[in-house]
Amino acid sequence: MKILKYILLFLILSSCSASKNRAWNCLQIDEGNLAFNEMLELIGKTKIDTNKIKSVKIYSYEFKKNGNIKDSTLIEHQNLNYFSTFKDHTNYEIKYDSLGRDFERYATRIETGETHLNYKKIYDSKSKITEWIVYNRDGQVNSKTFYYYDNLERLIKTEKYYGYFLYEKPILQRKKVLEYKSETLIKETEYSSVVSSDQFDSKLIKEYNKKGQQIDYRSETLENDITVSFWGFKSFYKGEKLIKKESYGSDNRDILTEFKYNSLNLPIENYSTDLNLKKPTRLTKYYYLENKKTTHNNVYN
């Protein structure tokens, strides 16, 4: 899903010119696609019954100084079958060993028919993955990820080394540490670097509740192992549904976003408030269309 999101954003930016008469249209398209992708993240595209619901209209609302709604703008009208028509340019073939374990994947470019080994997995005697090797198109090792377990066979650390074909010595690009309470994963801390350095420049912390739902997400920028800035959000659930998200950051701008759903568990409203200014900042509404009629827009929480 994230890959498709980046493709959408690239197409948006590349289609926008610097001319003033197109600037607002591009901003609208950008906002609409972001709102559509936010909807997909909330529900997962596989949960939408596209036999019944064909498309969604997304509106953004502006506010007056007193906090009342000023007007609305249609920022997106999207066919919900959009992603099912997306075609990849590569075919993949996974091979399994005698124990039924996925151990190799081959990639074939559709245009050229060129095939190369995409990755290889190595397991221990207990079928725990210990090493994941990724290759580039020339058959050279691109990266290796190593997996470490405790005496309870729980995954406690991964380390990804990058640049085997670029550097004399590969760099530690990413390290993840996992923490548990009994058998339940409660925290992941991932350090990463985007440059060929022996120091990490970012840290990502994810915390989970006993149901495995993410309750805190925090991204930090590091300089010499010191946090210089951060942003994140806390998530609140009712059953399986995300109902509130509280964003925070080193800029001291705290935003609370509340989500409402219909009887089909599709989101119909995202309402954001600046907690410091006590003012609404954003309102997005989703209207689902079936046979050219607007349906399923009542609130059910």
How far is CA 252 from each of CA 218, 228, 255, rounded to the nearest angstrom?
A: 14, 14, 10
Hey, how many other C-beta atoms are within 10 angstroms of the C-beta on 196?
12
Two tokens at 168? 């004399």
This prediction's pTM: 0.80
| Sequence-separated (6 or more) residues with CB below 8 Å from residue 222 | 199, 200, 201, 202, 203, 228
Ramachandran area for residue 130 (φ above 0: left; ψ -120 to 50: alpha; else beta):
alpha
What secondary structure, in 3-state letters, does 81-138 show? Answer: CCHHHCCCCEEEEEEECCCCCEEEEEEEECCCCCEEEEEEEEECCCCCEEEEEEECCC
> Comparing 2-11, 86-95, 244-253, 288-297, which segment has the lowest mean pLDDT?
2-11
Residue 102 clears pLDDT 80, i.e. is over it: yes
Q: What is the pLDDT of residue 77?
A: 92
198 φ, ψ (degrees, to nearest 5): -90, 10
Kind of pairing, strands 241-249 and 226-238? Answer: antiparallel
**Inter-residue contact 258 to 243 (CB < 8 Å):** yes
Q: Residue 292 — pLDDT band, cuts 50, 70, 90? A: low
Residue 22 has φ and ψ, to the nearest 5°, of: -110, -10
Query: Scanning the structure block, which residue is given the tokens 């691109």?
Result: 142
Tokens 């340019």, residue?
Answer: 89
pLDDT above 50: residue 192: yes
Q: Which stretch of 19-23, 197-201, 238-242, 247-251 has the lowest confidence by average pLDDT?
A: 19-23
- When pLDDT is cut at 50, 70 and 90, the band that residue 154 belongs to is very high
Q: For the beta carbon of residue 89, count every other beta carbon within 10 angstroms.
A: 8
